Structure 1
Amino acid sequence: MSKKKVQKRLAIKGETSIDVPTDTIFFILTRLPVKSLLRFKSVSKAWNAIICDDEFTKIHHHQTKALGRKKLLVQRPTGYFNFRDLENPQLILMERQLFPLKRLQQCAEIMCSCDGLVLIKDHKSYNEYVLWNPSTTKYRVLELCPYLNLDNECPKACGLCNDSNLDDYKVIVICKLFYVVYSLNKGCWKRKQVSLVHFYQLLVIAIGGLALKVVYFGL
C-alpha cells in the first residue's frame, strides 16, 4: 500500500494523527498479531479500511512469515474457530470466532490454506467453496463450478496455491477423471482432463505458485 493511499484513508473525517506519521502507523499495524488487528478495526473507519485492504493483508502475511510465527487454526465441533501460536501454545491469537457466513457456521469444513487464506467447503454440498481470511474476517463465496454435479464422482482432493507470476490465487479440485481450477482474479473455473482410471489416494501440495499432485492409483 502506497504512502499516499495510507494518508488518504487516515485523513477520513480528520483522523490523521498529528503526532504520529501515517507511515509509522502503517508500519506498526503490519507487525501486530491477528487478535490485536481485529480489535483495532473498531478504532476508526480509516484503520478498519487499512486492515481490511488486500495489499495490507499481503504485507502483514509476509511480515508474519519473516518473523517465523507459525499459527494453527483449530475448528471446534461447535462451529467455533481458534487461532493459536504454535511456538507458544498458551497464546491464543483469536478465540471462539464463528465463520462470518451464517448459513455455513455449522457446516463449514476446513480443506486447506495458503498465505493466510483458508479454503472452506460446505460439507453438505459437493459444489460450494469459500475463501476466508480469518485475520480480517473477509470471505468470498466462489462461483458454483459447472463441471461438478451429482453425476460425477465426489471430489477426491483439493488444494489452494498462489500463482506469483500472475498475482493470483487458484483453487484446484480433483475428481476421478478430471480436475478443475478456479482463478480468483478471473472468477471462473476451467476443466482439465486426466487419463487415470482409478484413484486410491490423492494429495495436493502447494509450493509457491506450483501445485503438485501426489497420486496413488490403479488401472
Structure 2
Amino acid sequence: ETKVNLPWELIEEILYRVPTKSLKRLGSTCKQWNALFENQRFTKKHFDEAPKQSMVLMLKDFRGCPMNVNLNVAAPSIEFKSAISLKDSDYNPEQVYITTVFHCDGLLLCTTDDDRLVVWNPCLRETRWIQHKADYMKYSMFALGYQNNKSCRSYKILKCCWNPNAFEVYEFSSDSWKVFDKFSLEDSIPFQTGVCLKGNSYFVTIKKVLLSFDFATESFSRVCRLPVPFEDCDWIILSVAREEQLSMLHQNYRTSKMDIWMANSIDDTLSWKKTFSVELIIPANSSFYLIDEERKVVVCCNVRHSNDHIVKIIIGEDNAYYTEHPTVTSKSWTERSCIFNYVPSLVRIQ
C-alpha cells in the first residue's frame, strides 16, 4: 500500500470541520490527535468552525434532559431522551441535583440544591467545582462568559447578589474571585434571566432594558430599551438562536398575546424585529427556545405553581398547531426549569 503523509497543518484544517462527537471518538485512536484536542487554540477554532451538533436540553427533575421535537407529524410531539446526570465522585457518588443552568460554549454553569457551584462539560464528562461564599446563594444570579485572547478564551463567572451595588467575577486561570463594590446599577436584574452570546452575557432588567456584561472589561453596559410596552407584570424571556442572534419572548399579562422578536447582529447597532405573534391559553413564564425560525415554531416552559406541573408548549403562527406536554416535577422551589440549545464542545475546564 502507498501511504500518503499529509502536512500537519492540512490535517488540522480537516479536523476543524469534523463534528465534536465524532472528533471525541477519534481522540482515542491517536495520541498526537488527543494532545491536539486538549490544546486551547485548537478547541477555540474548532468550536467556531465545526458543524454544530446542537440539541434542545431541558432542566427536568434536577437533570439535563435532551428533547426531541418532531415537527413532521400533524400534531407536533415532544419526546424526552435519557437524562444526563451530574455527579461528584469525591463529594457524593449519587446524582447531584441541579437547580439552575447557564450555557456557554458547550459548558454548563450549574447551581445545586446544596448551594454549590460547578462548571460541567457533559460531552467530555468533566467538572470543575468552584469555591465561593455560600452566603445568599439562593438569592444570587450567576452567568458564564469569556474574554477573547489571541489564541484561546479566558472563561469567567459573574455573580450578582441581592446587593445591587456589588458583583463578583471568578477567573478560571487564577482560580480566584474579584469583588467590585463601587458601581451602581440603575435597575435590578431578575434571577436567571440571562444568556451568553459571543462571550458576553445579556440580561433583561425589571424596567425592560437590555443590559450586557463584558467579561473582557468586567463591566456592565446598557444596550437598549426593549421595543415592548412597559408593564410590570409582563414576561420577557431571552434566548439565543443558532448561536448567532438574540431572540426574545414577550408575554402580555393583560392578554393572551405572545410575541417573538429577533435581534440583528450584536456587532452592529442593535435593533429588533417582531417575527410572529400567537394567542396563548397558558402564558409562557419560564423559558423558551426558537426551534425553527422559518416555520415559526418555538418551545416554551410554563411553571404552574398550583400543581407543580411544567408544561411544554409548541406553537406555530396563527395557531397552526399547539401542543401541551405536562410533566410532573419536584415540588422544591429551588429548581428553575429552563429550555436551551446545547452545543457540545471540546472545551477543557480543568
TM-score bin (small chain): 0.5 to 0.7
- Which of 106, 126, 143 lines up with 1:116 in the alignment? 106
Secondary structure of the corresponding residue to residue 189 of structure 1: strand
Q: Does 1:23 align with 2:9?
A: yes
**Structure 1 196/75 Cα, relative in aligned 2: closer, same or farther at 3 Å?**
closer
* Alignment CA distance shift 1:213-1:200 (3 Å): closer
Q: Match for residue 217 of structure 2?
A: none
| Deviation readout 1:61-89 (Å, 9 max, x if unpaired) | 1013xx566443455548465497999xx
User: Alignment RMSD, CA only?
Assistant: 3.9
Partner letter of residue 38 of structure 1? Answer: K
Structure 1 residue 124 displacement after superposition: 1.8
- Structure 1 residue 162 corresponds to structure 2 residue 146: yes
Tell me what 1:145 maps to.
Answer: 132
Structure label with greater radius of gyration = 2
For structure 1, the residue ranges without an aligned partner over 5 or more in a row are 1-17, 88-93
Paired with 1:210 and 1:80, the residues of 2 have a C-alpha distance of 23
Does 1:132 pair with 2:120?
yes
Cα displacement (A) at 1:182: 0.8
| Stretch moving more, 184-193 or 200-209 | 200-209
Runs of 4+ in 1 over 6 A off after TM superposition: 83-87
Give the strand-richer structure, 1 or 2: 2
Deviation at 1:159, TM superposition (A): 1.0
Q: 2: distance between equivalents of 1:165 and 1:24?
A: 24
Q: How many residues align?
A: 188
Query: For 2:19 and 2:70, how far apart are their aligned partners in 1?
Result: 13
Match of 1:46? 32
Any conservation in 1 of the 2:20–2:53 contact (CA below 8 Å)? no
Kindly indicate whether residue 153 of structure 2 is the aligned counterpart of residue 171 of structure 1: no
1:35 matched to 2:24? The reply is no
Letter in 2 for 1:45: K
SS across alignment from 2:139: coil
1:47-62 to structure 2, matched below 5 A, reads 47-62=33-48
Q: Distance in 2 between matches of 1:42 and 1:85?
A: 32
Could you tell me whether the CA contact under 8 Å between 1:109 and 1:121 is conserved in 2? yes
SS for the counterpart of 2:159 is: strand
Higher relative contact order structure (alpha carbons within 8 Å, sequence separation ≥ 6): 2
TM-superposed CA distance for 1:131, in Å, is 2.0
**Aligned equivalent of 1:189:** 177
For 1:98 and 1:23, how far apart are their aligned partners in 2? 38
**Matching of residues 180-219 of structure 1 within 5 Å:** 180-193=168-181, 201-202=190-191, 203-216=193-206
SS of 2:124's partner is: coil
Cα-to-partner distance string for 1:39-64 (whole Å, 9 max, x where unaligned)? 22321333332223322221111013
- Shift of the 153–56 alpha-carbon distance from structure 1 to 2, 3 Å rule, reads closer
1:72 aligned onto 2:56 = yes
- State the Cα distance separating 1:31 from its structure 2 match: 1.9
Work out whether residues 99 and 111 of structure 2, in 8 Å CA contact, stay in contact via their aligned partners in 1. Answer: yes
Q: Give the AA of the match of 1:164.
A: N
Aligned to 1:6: none
Deviations along 1:71-127, whole A, 9 cap, x unmatched?
43455548465497999xxxxxx97654464437432345211222221222321xx
Greater mean deviation of Cα atoms: 175-184 or 198-207: 198-207
Identify which of 87, 96, 101 aligns with 1:106.
96
Percent same amino acid among aligned pairs?
23
> TM-score with structure 1 length normalisation?
0.64
Decide whether aligned partners of structure 1 residues 43 and 109 sit closer, same or farther in structure 2, where only a CA change above 3 A counts. Answer: farther
| Inter-partner Cα distance in structure 1 for 2:105 and 2:58 | 17
Report the TM-score when normalising by structure 2.
0.43
| Counterpart-to-counterpart distance in 2, 1:55 and 1:85 | 34
Residue segments in structure 2 that go unaligned for 5+ positions in a row: 72-80, 208-231, 233-350
Whichever structure has more helix as a proportion of its residues is 1
